[in-house]
């Protein structure tokens, strides 16, 4: 803290290979940091780490893999190792620098493409990051994390963050309960349904019955809120699980 201070924003950087988002140290522990950079169009996340001890490293490694997996991005984690001249603990820095990917794209399904062999060894590693495979994964027909996000369910977070309080501050401030909307997801879905521009140009038809109108309004809301996934023919329901019911049935049979 004698030579640097925390910033107040996260901004992706344009490069020749794509847009890069940088997470410094403990930034990788917070899901919102990776998600914010993903919303900015990042193709690659990089985490610079200085971990004083194995516990700190493993926590940061698992968290960073989670950031890549939940946002479906490839990434690199660069760990400083050796004598600690930065913090008061003076505990030596350890860690295994690695090139990482979403879990489905890693050969051992652990998110690791290649990593250093020991926590105390300096070195340079090289491995191909297949950006094309990542983008093909984005276009897959199977519902994925990017498509299956229950965005409506997370809407109350925007109100929570406007208070600029940490989780501890919100938890212990019982005398000032957080004022979050209590509207149910279905009510929000119905309230957000509206006619498209093309439909607004159509002539008015005979009003449907109340039952038909309610069914049509619900269907319209679901359709408007689906994420089409670019060139995909079928959208994905934001109220549905990102995993198909057929997969669950197959698991039950097994």
- pLDDT at position 222 is 41
Residue 41's pLDDT band, with cuts at 50, 70 and 90, is very high
Query: Which has the higher per-residue pLDDT, 223 or 118?
Result: 118
Options 3.60.110.10, 3.40.50.1220, 3.50.50.60, 3.30.70.20; CATH for 13-138 is 3.60.110.10
Q: What angle do CA 188, 235, 143 make, to 5 degrees?
A: 100
- pLDDT at position 85 is 85
Residue 88's pLDDT band, with cuts at 50, 70 and 90, is confident
Average pLDDT over residues 29-53: 96
Query: Which has the higher per-residue pLDDT, 220 or 110?
Result: 110
Domain boundaries, the chain: 13-138, 151-253
Q: What is the DSSP letter of 152?
A: G
Model pLDDT for residues 229-249, shown as the tens digit of each residue: 433 444 444 444 444 444 444
Average pLDDT over residues 17-41: 95
pTM, two decimal places? 0.69
Query: Which has the higher per-residue pLDDT, 238 or 26?
Result: 26
- pLDDT at position 15 is 94
- pLDDT at position 135 is 87
Q: Alpha-carbon distance 184 to 182, whole Å? A: 6
- pLDDT at position 59 is 97
b (16+ CB within 10 A) / e for 204-223:
eeeeeeeeeeeeeeeebbbe
User: What is the maximum span of the chain, computed from C-alpha positions, in angstroms?
Assistant: 78
Average pLDDT over residues 93-114: 94
- pLDDT at position 241 is 43
Query: Which has the higher per-residue pLDDT, 245 or 13?
Result: 13
- pLDDT at position 194 is 46
**SS3 (DSSP) at 158:** helix
- pLDDT at position 225 is 40
Q: What is the mean pLDDT of the chain?
A: 77
Average pLDDT over residues 1-22: 88
Helices 54-71 and 31-39 pack at an angle, to 10 degrees, of 40
């Amino acid at each position: 803290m004698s030579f640097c201070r925390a910033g107040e924003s996260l901004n992706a950087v344009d490069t020749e290979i794509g847009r890069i988002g940088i997470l410094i140290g403990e930034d990788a522990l917070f899901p919102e940091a990776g998600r914010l950079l993903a919303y900015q169009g990042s193709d690659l996340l990089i985490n610079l780490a200085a971990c004083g001890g194995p516990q700190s490293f493993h926590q940061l490694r698992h968290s960073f893999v989670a950031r890549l997996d939940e946002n479906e991005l490839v990434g690199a984690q660069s760990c400083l190792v050796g004598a600690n001249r930065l913090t008061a603990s003076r505990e030596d820095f350890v860690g295994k620098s690695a090139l990482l990917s979403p879990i489905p794209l890693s050969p051992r399904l652990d998110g690791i493409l290649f990593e250093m062999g020991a926590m105390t060894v300096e070195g340079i590693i090289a491995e191909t990051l297949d950006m094309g495979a990542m983008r093909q994964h984005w276009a897959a027909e199977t519902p994925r994390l990017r498509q299956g996000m229950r965005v409506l369910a997370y809407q109350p977070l925007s109100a929570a963050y406007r208070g600029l309080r940490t989780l501890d501050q919100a938890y212990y401030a019982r005398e000032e309960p957080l004022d979050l909307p209590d509207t149910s997801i279905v009510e929000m879905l119905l309230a957000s349904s509206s006619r498209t521009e093309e439909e607004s140009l159509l002539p008015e038809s005979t009003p449907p019955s109340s039952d038909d109108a309610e069914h049509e309004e619900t269907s319209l809301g679901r359709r408007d809120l689906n994420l089409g996934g670019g060139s995909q023919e079928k959208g994905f329901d934001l109220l549905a699980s990102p995993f198909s019911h057929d997969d669950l049935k197959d698991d039950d049979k097994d």
